[in-house]
Chain A
Amino acid sequence: MSEHIVPLRIYVTIFLALLAGTTLTVWAGLHDFPGKLNVIIALTIAVIKATLVVLYFMHVRYSSRLIWVVFTSALFWLLILFALTFSDYWTRGWLSVY
């Protein structure tokens, strides 16, 4: 598998998309959306921006399977960290034993 050189045009596009995402997230942050929508919008934009950086700036889109495995396993362990912790915190009030 030889090295893939990402064209300049893609770098510029991603850069502009990241700046647009930042503007959008600031704009959305100043507006009051119903319910938990503010957090959801902010995190969705952040995840999209991070994905763009990982796929294009960090070349993961063009990298070997091995690097995909390492990256996704890191996310998987992060998921375990959050899932197990919150399965505790969120369920503490469910039983009135204490």
Chain B
Amino acid sequence: MLGRRAAGTGILPNRLSELGETVNLAQSHIATDHTASHPALQHHFENLEQQREAGALGMWVFLATEIMFFGGMFLAYTLYRTQYPLEFASASNHLSLPLGAVNTAVLIFSSFTMALAVYSAQTGKRRAQIVYLGLTILLGLTFLGIKAIEYYDKYKDQLIPGRLIPSRPFDPHGVHLLPGANPRHVEMFYWIYFAMTGMHAIHMIIGVVVLSVIMFFAARGRYGPEYHNPVEISGLYWHFVDIIWIFLFPLLYLLGRHLEHGG
């Protein structure tokens, strides 16, 4: 149909032949690009490089929404901390600093192994890739285990806020109050502590599930130097969750230590 219309006008044939040349050029370009025939390449992408960029960009847009999401909670934290500084410091001192610090190291280590998993995929080291993914998952589970111990300690000390546990309503008697702190405002710290660390833990659980799926496909040899978007973007997510903890740790665990120990 296009051909018939082109024949009827004076200008179009020229244009068409130009178009034809461009198409030919594009095809010859594709032909030399060996990634264009890769089985993992989706039909709506020119080549694997474009597909990789698009995938990473999509994950970054999602992470931007995640920054907003956690940002709201960090804002709530900042507001109430400025409102009740002594109560926040007292409640924070009751958290276990050793467990929090160890968990920070565990998470940083897991971020490192995640980066190495991506590196192994990029350089085509399949066994190393599986080992590092497995290590990342194990470290993620270690983090969640330590978090569970901390939550259990809060349960024992009746520091689960409100009446979430009907038989053990919130009671701050176990918290050593700094001079001038009002016990009535201690609970707010624990609401924020559980909301933020809980939301972070949910992200960790999702991350562990995602990485398990990635490891399953990695074991089947799906990812190599040419195609590893899923490994890469899961890594982006994992590192993001690590960054949230990098802020949560000093803000929740370290904010009042200097008032008690004073050096």
Measured CB to CB, the residues of A under 8 A from B are 1-3, 5-6, 8, 11, 14-15, 18-19, 22, 25-26, 29-33, 38-39, 42-43, 45-46, 49-50, 53-54, 56-58, 63-64, 66-67, 70-71, 73-75, 77-78, 81-82, 85, 89
Contact = CB atoms under 8 A, between A and B. Distances in A.
A86 to B, nearest CB: 8
A85 B101 contact: no
Contacts of B250: 25, 29, 42-43, 45-46
A81 B257 contact: no
User: Which label, helix, strand, loop or mixed, suits the secondary structure of the A interface?
Assistant: helix
Given A26-B97, A74-B63, A78-B67, A38 B242 contact: no
Contacts of B249: 22, 25, 46
A22 B258 contact: no
A57 B75 contact: no
A2 B239 CA distance: 22
A5 B247 CA distance: 28
Nearest to B232: A59
Contacts of B68: 74, 77-78, 81
B115 A57 contact: yes
A20 to B, nearest CB: 10
A75 B123 CA distance: 32
B116 interface: yes
Nearest to A27: B263
B119 A50 contact: no
B60 interface: yes
Interface string B94-124: 0001000100110011011011100100110
A57 to B, nearest CB: 5
Contact of A50 (B75, B236, B247, B257): B247
Contacts of B60: 67, 70-71
